[in-house]
C-alpha cells in the first residue's frame, strides 16, 4: 500500500510541477514524463505485490466530504487491472516525451499535468472501495482524458471529437450514477465492503442494475452502438494518449462489470450471460467489419478496440453461463480468457497506436492510401508494428492467441457438455470468434501490406525515416512483452488469472484451470517446435544461397514502361471483396464512376463507410433529445433583466409557498 500511495503522490507532484514549468516546455515534458515513469514503476511494484498477496492491502482515510470515505483496497482483481495501467502508462510517457520532443509548445505542460492526473484517476477507479470515491475518480478520468484529447484544439475536427467524447463520458457517468445510487440505497452504505451479496439475484432490481451497468460501463468500454466516441476521439488525441486510452481507459468499463459480479448474492440469471455474449458478438463482428472499411489508420485501430472489447465480453459471457449452471471449468476458462485478453489488448493495442503515432510523426499522414513502403524506411517501428498486428489478429506465438485460445476452449467445453441452455451461445461464440479472428487477420494484412510494404505513394511517405529512440524503445518493449506473454502463457495464465476467477466466482483458489492450461501448453509446445523448424529452414536457406548471386529487382516491374506507385493496390481496393460481401451490414457509399470505354477520360471514385449503428441508433436518439430540449433555449434570452426576473419569481414563489 505504501508503494501504491507513493506512486500516486509522485504522479500528483508531477501533475503539479509540469504546468508550473510551462514556459520551458522541454523541462515540463521531462518532469511530467519523468514523474509518470517513476510513478508507474512504483505502481507496477505495488500491483505485482498485490497480485501475490493473499489478502489485499486495505486503506481507509477520513475526508471532509459529507458522504463516503477515501477507502482503497489493493486486492487481486484491482492489482491485475493496475498491471496494464502502470505498464502502459510508463511506456507511453517515455514515448510522449519523444513525441512532443522537437515541437515543444507551452501547452505541453498542461498536457503532462492531465496525463499524470489521468493515471491517478484510473488507479483510483481500479482500487476504490467507496462509491463516492469511485464516481469522483470516474469523472476525473473523463475530464482529464477530454483535456488530453483536445491537445491540438486549433483543428475543428479535434474540437468536435472532444465534444463527442465529453458527451459520451457523461452519458456513461449519468447511467453509473443511477446504478450506484440504487446499489448504495439497497446496501445502506457507500462502502463496497457492504455491497457483497447486495444484488438479490432474481429480483427486478438486479436486472435493472445489470442493464444499467452494461449500458454505463459499455459507454466507456465502447460496446456496440455506444462506441461512437472511439473512432472520433482516438484519431484526434496525441498517439501516446490514444494508446493509453484505448489500452487501459476503456478497460475501466470491463473492470466495473467484473467488479459488479462480485456483489451478486448468487449465480446470475441465464440471460445475463446471453446478453453479454450477444453484445460481445455484435461489438466484435461489427467492430472488425467497420475497421476493415476504414482509410484512416488510427480510426481503424479505434474500431479494433470495439472488436477486442467484444472478444473480452465473449469470455465474460461464457464465464457468466458457467456461474449460472454451476460449471467452475467454464467460468474459470471464460473469465481467465477475458481477463487475460484485457492485459493482452493493452499491450498490443498500445503498441499499434504507438506505431501509428510514429508513422504520423515522421510523415504527417494517417490516411493509409497515401503511405507505403515504410518497412524499409522505419525498420524497427515496422518490426514492432508487425508483431502487434500478428498479436491482435490472434496469431501464434503472440499473446492475442493465448487469450482467444482460452475463450475457444471455454466455448468447446460448454458445447461438449450438451447443456441445452448453453449449447447455442457456445456455438455462436465459436463461430463469431472465428469470423472475428479471420476478419482481423485480413484487416491487418491490409494495414501491413499497404502501409509497410510496397512503394511509397506520396512524397511524404517517401521521406519517412526511423523515429528517435524515445519512440522506438517503448514499442520494442511492448513487442517483446507480446512475445513473452504469448510463449509464456501456459505458465503465466494460472498464477495470473485463476485467483481472479475464483475471487469473482467465490470458490477457493487453485481449482479448475489445470485442464485448460495443459492443452494450452501442448499447443504452445507445438508452436515453439514450428518456430524452431522455421528458424532451421531459414538457416538452411541462407547456407544454400551463400555461394550464389542474389539479385534484386523492382517489385512492380511487370513490363510497364513507366510504373508509378499509384498502380499499387490501395487499402480500399484490398478490402473491397470483403467490404462488398458485407455490404448489407456496412452500407459503404461509393461516389464517382469507374473509367469507361477504350480511351477513358479522367475519373474519380470515393468510398465512405458510415458508422451504421451510430447513424441508425445513436443519432436519432440525440436528435430526439435535442428536439425535446430545444424549447428550453427560450429561457436563455441573453438579457440580464430576464435572469433577475427568474430569480425574483423563484424567490417570491418560495416565500409565498413556505409561509
Partner 1 sequence: MMLHSLTSLLLVFLVLANLRLLGASRLNVCIRTVAAQGVALSLLPLLNASGLSLTSFHALALPTATALVKGALFPWLLFRALREAHVQREVEPYVGFTPSLLFGVGSLAVGGHLAARLPLPGGSPLLVPVALATMLTGLFLIIARRQALMQVVGYLALENGIFAFGASVMKEAPLLVEMGILLDVFVAVFIMGITVFHISREFEHTDTERLSALKDWSP
Sole binder of partner 1 in the list 594, 629, 638, 657 (CB under 8 A):
638
For 202-271, the three-class secondary structure string (H helix, E strand, C coil) is CCHHHHHHHHHHHHHHHHHHCCCCCCCCHHHHHHHCCHHHHHHHHHHHCHHHHHHHHHHHCCECCCCCHH
Sole binder of partner 1 in the list 536, 648, 650, 654 (CB under 8 A):
648
Smallest distance, partner 1 to C-beta of residue 565, A: 48
Residue 81 CA from chain centroid, whole number: 13
Sole binder of partner 1 in the list 526, 529, 540, 644 (CB under 8 A):
644
Beta bridge partners of 73: 58
- Convert residues 604-633 into a mask of x (bound to partner 1 by CB under 8 A) and - (unbound): -----------------------------x
Among residues 188 and 638, whose Cβ is nearest to partner 1? 638
Among residues 551 and 636, whose Cβ is nearest to partner 1? 636
The one-character DSSP state at 457 is: S
Among residues 160 and 608, whose Cβ is nearest to partner 1? 160
Beta bridge partners of 191: 130
- DSSP per-residue letters across 33-100: HHHHHHHHHHHHHHHHHHHH-SS-EEEEE--SSSS--EEEEE-HHHHHHHHHHHHHHHHHHHHHHHHH
Task: Tell which residue, 327, 530, 498, has the closest CA to residue 410.
Answer: 327
Among residues 166 and 384, whose Cβ is nearest to partner 1? 166
Among residues 535 and 652, whose Cβ is nearest to partner 1? 652
Angle between helices 107-127 and 76-101 (to 10 degrees): 170
The one segment of 105-113, 381-389, 479-487, 634-642 that binds partner 1 by CB under 8 A:
634-642
Smallest distance, partner 1 to C-beta of residue 163, A: 14
Q: How far apart are alpha carbons 556 and 40 in whole angstroms?
A: 47
The one segment of 161-169, 189-197, 610-618, 640-648 that binds partner 1 by CB under 8 A:
640-648
Smallest distance, partner 1 to C-beta of residue 625, A: 17
The one segment of 245-253, 292-300, 418-426, 642-650 that binds partner 1 by CB under 8 A:
642-650
Among residues 594 and 640, whose Cβ is nearest to partner 1? 640
Q: How far apart are alpha carbons 50 and 73 in whole angstroms?
A: 10
The DSSP element (H or E) to which 605 belongs, if any, is strand 605-608
Smallest distance, partner 1 to C-beta of residue 156, A: 18
Sole binder of partner 1 in the list 418, 542, 641, 657 (CB under 8 A):
641
The one segment of 238-246, 305-313, 507-515, 650-658 that binds partner 1 by CB under 8 A:
650-658
Q: How far apart are alpha carbons 226 and 215 in whole angstroms?
A: 8
Size of the site for partner 1 (CB under 8 A): 15
Among residues 196 and 637, whose Cβ is nearest to partner 1? 637
Of residues 132-161, which lie at the interface with partner 1 (CB under 8 A)?
Answer: none
Smallest distance, partner 1 to C-beta of residue 159, A: 15
Q: How far apart are alpha carbons 474 and 377 in whole angstroms?
A: 19
Among residues 528 and 644, whose Cβ is nearest to partner 1? 644
Smallest distance, partner 1 to C-beta of residue 262, A: 45
Cβ-count burial of 45 within 10 angstroms (0-12 exposed, 13-18 middle, 19+ buried)?
Answer: middle
Radius of gyration of the chain (CA): 26
Among residues 102 and 641, whose Cβ is nearest to partner 1? 641
Q: Per CB under 8 A, does 637 bind partner 1?
A: yes
Q: Which three cell numbers stand for residue 484?
A: 513473452
The one-character DSSP state at 466 is: P
Smallest distance, partner 1 to C-beta of residue 170, A: 19
Among residues 20 and 645, whose Cβ is nearest to partner 1? 645
From residue 251, how far is each of 80, 255, 273, 341, 605 by CA, in Å?
12, 6, 19, 10, 39
Sole binder of partner 1 in the list 518, 645, 650, 653 (CB under 8 A):
645
Q: Is the peptide bond before 658 cis (omega within 30 degrees of 0)?
A: no
Sole binder of partner 1 in the list 459, 551, 656, 657 (CB under 8 A):
656
Q: How far apart are alpha carbons 248 and 299 in whole angstroms?
A: 17
Among residues 567 and 648, whose Cβ is nearest to partner 1? 648
Q: Which three cell numbers stand for residue 321?
A: 453461463
Tell me which residues touch partner 1 (CB under 8 A): 633, 636-642, 644-645, 648, 652, 655-656, 659
Amino acid at each position: 500500500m505504501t508503494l501504491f500511495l507513493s506512486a500516486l503522490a509522485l504522479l500528483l507532484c508531477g501533475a503539479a510541477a509540469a504546468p508550473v514549468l510551462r514556459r520551458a516546455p522541454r523541462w515540463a515534458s521531462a518532469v511530467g514524463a519523468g514523474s509518470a515513469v517513476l510513478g508507474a514503476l512504483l505502481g507496477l511494484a505495488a500491483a505485482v505485490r498485490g497480485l501475490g498477496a493473499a489478502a489485499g492491502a486495505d486503506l481507509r482515510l477520513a475526508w471532509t466530504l459529507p458522504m463516503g470515505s477515501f477507502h482503497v483496497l489493493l486486492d487481486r482483481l484491482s492489482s491485475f487491472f493496475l498491471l496494464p495501467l502502470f505498464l502502459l502508462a510508463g511506456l507511453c510517457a517515455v514515448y510522449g516525451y519523444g513525441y512532443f520532443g522537437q515541437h515543444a509548445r507551452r501547452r505541453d505542460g498542461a498536457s503532462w499535468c492531465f496525463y499524470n492526473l489521468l493515471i491517478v484517476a484510473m488507479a483510483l477507479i481500479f482500487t476504490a472501495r467507496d462509491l463516492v470515491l469511485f464516481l469522483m475518480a470516474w469523472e476525473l478520468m473523463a475530464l482529464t482524458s477530454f483535456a488530453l484529447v483536445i491537445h491540438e484544439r486549433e483543428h475543428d475536427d479535434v474540437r468536435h471529437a472532444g465534444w463527442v467524447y465529453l458527451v459520451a463520458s457523461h452519458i456513461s457517468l449519468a447511467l453509473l450514477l443511477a446504478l450506484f445510487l440504487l446499489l448504495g440505497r439497497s446496501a445502506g452504505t457507500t462502502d463496497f465492503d457492504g455491497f457483497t451479496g447486495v444484488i438479490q439475484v432474481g429480483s427486478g432490481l438486479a436486472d435493472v442494475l445489470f442493464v444499467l451497468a452494461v449500458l454505463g460501463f459499455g459507454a466507456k468500454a465502447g460496446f456496440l452502438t455506444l462506441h461512437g466516441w472511439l473512432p472520433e476521439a482516438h484519431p484526434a488525441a496525441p498517439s501516446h494518449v490514444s494508446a493509453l486510452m484505448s489500452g487501459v481507459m476503456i478497460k475501466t468499463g470491463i473492470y466495473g462489470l467484473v467488479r459488479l459480479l462480485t456483489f451478486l448474492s448468487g449465480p446470475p440469471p441465464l440471460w445475463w450471460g446471453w446478453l453479454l455474449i450477444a453484445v460481445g458478438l455484435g461489438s466484435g463482428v461489427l467492430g472488425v467489419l467497420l475497421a476493415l472499411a476504414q482509410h484512416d489508420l488510427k480510426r481503424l485501430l479505434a474500431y479494433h478496440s470495439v472488436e477486442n472489447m467484444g472478444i473480452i465480453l465473449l469470455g465474460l459471457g461464457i464465464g457468466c453461463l458457467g456461474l449460472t449452471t454451476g460449471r467452475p471449468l467454464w467460468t474459470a476458462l471464460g473469465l481467465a480468457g477475458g481477463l487475460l485478453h484485457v492485459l493482452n489488448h493493452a499491450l498490443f493495442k498500445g503498441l499499434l497506436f504507438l506505431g501509428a503515432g510514429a508513422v504520423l510523426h515522421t510523415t504527417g499522414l494517417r490516411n493509409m492510401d497515401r503511405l507505403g513502403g515504410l518497412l524499409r524506411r522505419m525498420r524497427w517501428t515496422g518490426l514492432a508494428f508487425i508483431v502487434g498486428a500478428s498479436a491482435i489478429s490472434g496469431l501464434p506465438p503472440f499473446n492475442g492467441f493465448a487469450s482467444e485460445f482460452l475463450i475457444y476452449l471455454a466455448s468447446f467445453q460448454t458445447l461438449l457438455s450438451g447443456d441445452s441452455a448453453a449449447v447455442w451461445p457456445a456455438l455462436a461464440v465459436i463461430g463469431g470468434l472465428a469470423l472475428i479472428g479471420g476478419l482481423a487477420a485480413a484487416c491487418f494484412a491490409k494495414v501491413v501490406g499497404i502501409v509497410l510494404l510496397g512503394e511509397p505513394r506520396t512524397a511524404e511517405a517517401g521521406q519517412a525515416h526511423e523515429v528517435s529512440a524515445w519512440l522506438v524503445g517503448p514499442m520494442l518493449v511492448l513487442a517483446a512483452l507480446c512475445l513473452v506473454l504469448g510463449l509464456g502463457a501456459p505458465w503465466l495464465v494460472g498464477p495470473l488469472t485463476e485467483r481472479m476467477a475464483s475471487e469473482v466466482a467465490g470458490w477457493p483458489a487453485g481449482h479448475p484451470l489445470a485442464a485448460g492450461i495443459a492443452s494450452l501448453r501442448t499447443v504452445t509446445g507445438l508452436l515453439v517446435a514450428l518456430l524452431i523448424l522455421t528458424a532451421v529452414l531459414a538457416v538452411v536457406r541462407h547456407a544454400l544461397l551463400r555461394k550464389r548471386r542474389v539479385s534484386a529487382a523492382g517489385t512492380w516491374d511487370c513490363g510497364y514502361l513507366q510504373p508509378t506507385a499509384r498502380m499499387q493496390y490501395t487499402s480500399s481496393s484490398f478490402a473491397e471483396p470483403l467490404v462488398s460481401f458485407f455490404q448489407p451490414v456496412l452500407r459503404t457509399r461509393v461516389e464517382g464512376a469507374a473509367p469507361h470505354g477504350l480511351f477513358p477520360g479522367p475519373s474519380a471514385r470515393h468510398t465512405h463507410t458510415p458508422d451504421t449503428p451510430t447513424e441508425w441508433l445513436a443519432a436519432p436518439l440525440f436528435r430526439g433529445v435535442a428536439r425535446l430540449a430545444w424549447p428550453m433555449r427560450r429561457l436563455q434570452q441573453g438579457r440580464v433583466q430576464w435572469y433577475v426576473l427568474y430569480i425574483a419569481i423563484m424567490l417570491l414563489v418560495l416565500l409565498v409557498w413556505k409561509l
